[in-house]
Amino acid sequence: TTLSEKDKNIVKTFWAKVAGREEQIGCDAVSRMLTVYPQTKTYFSHWKDLSPGSDPVRKHGGIVMAAVTDAVSKTDDLTGALLSLSELHAFTLRVDPANFKVLSHNLLVVLSTTFSNDFTPEVHVAIDKFLTAVALALSEKYR
Residues near ligand HEM, by CB under 6 A: 40, 43-44, 60, 63-64, 67-68, 85, 88-89, 93, 95, 99-100, 102-104, 134, 138
State the nearest-atom distance from the C-beta of 112 to ligand HEM, in Å: 16
State the nearest-atom distance from the C-beta of 55 to ligand HEM, in Å: 11
Nearer to ligand HEM, 95 or 117 (CB): 95
Distance CA 121, CA 37 (A): 26
Nearer to ligand HEM, 117 or 140 (CB): 140
Q: Are 114 and 29 in contact (CB under 8 A)?
A: no
Distance CA 134, CA 58 (A): 21
Q: Are 58 and 92 in contact (CB under 8 A)?
A: no
Q: Is 50 helix (H, G, I), strand (E, B) or coil?
A: coil
State the nearest-atom distance from the C-beta of 118 to ligand HEM, in Å: 21
Residue type for position 80 = G
Nearer to ligand HEM, 123 or 135 (CB): 135
Nearer to ligand HEM, 48 or 143 (CB): 48
Give residues with Cβ within 8 angstroms of 66, minimum separation 6.
22
